[in-house]
Amino acid sequence: MKNGVDINMNRLRFVTSNKGKFYEVKSLLADYEIEMFNVGYPEIQASDLEDVACYGIRYLWNEYGGNLFLEDSGLFIHKLNGFPGVFSSYAQNTIGNRGILKLLSDEKDRRAYFKSVIAYCDEKGSIKLFGGRVDGFISYEEVGDEGFGFDPIFLYDGRTFGEISLDDKNKKSHRGFAVNEFKRYLDNNFKEVL
């Protein structure tokens, strides 16, 4: 303990049920001990990922204390006015990638982006948000079996995220950018007390 604060700040709980996300984040935060903390939290109906993340992290702080983070992400398709966006999980579990491709079947405008928001709560209950975004296109068919979720239909630089390795995806993805921002914050704020 230092000034009443647990100085082992390099041990963090990542609240998620998604192993694909967990491995991506764990690889980027290799200097830290990351524990998968699969406890679930309410995801409110809101139009912004930030609002969903803030509500979730406050709930988690009340239930489990600090030193934890969550990550909320979504796929936003221009021609569908941002759908599935905050409903990405629901869309993935119901219509899936095939359903998304069907919605865009005769569509030439296939622009889409992934967005990621990380909400972190420290030992004292202070909350910080970090974000990342990657712009790409929806493919015409599912390609590749790497990654998870929408990866086989998200085209970036001529290949889908389903065709590239985890390390490659981490260099260009929404989550990669958000986690690197988070890492910079952790390195600046906590490394010196270890």
Catalytic residues: 72
**Residue, CB closest to ligand ITT:** 149
Contact range with ligand ITT by CB under 6 A, out of 15-23, 26-34, 60-68, 120-128: 15-23
Site string for ligand ITT, 30-69 (x = CB under 6 A): ----------------------------------------
CB count within 10 Å of CB 49 equals 23
Site string for ligand ITT, 169-188 (x = CB under 6 A): ----x-x-------------
- Residue from 13, 113, 115, 151 in contact with ligand ITT (CB under 6 A): 151
How many alpha carbons lie under 13 Å from residue 28 in its C-beta half-sphere? 26
87 binds ligand ITT (CB under 6 A): no
Compute the distance between CA of residue 11 and CA of residue 1 in angstroms, rounded to an integer.
14
Residues 6+ apart with CB under 8 A from 46: 52, 55, 86
| Ramachandran region, residue 19 (left: φ > 0; alpha: ψ -120 to 50; beta: rest) | alpha
At 127, is the secondary structure helix, strand, or coil?
A: strand
- Strand pairing class (68-77; 111-121): antiparallel
Q: How many residues bind ligand ITT (CB under 6 A)?
A: 20
Interface residues with ligand ITT (CB under 6 A) are 16-18, 21, 72-75, 88-89, 92, 114, 147-151, 161, 173, 175
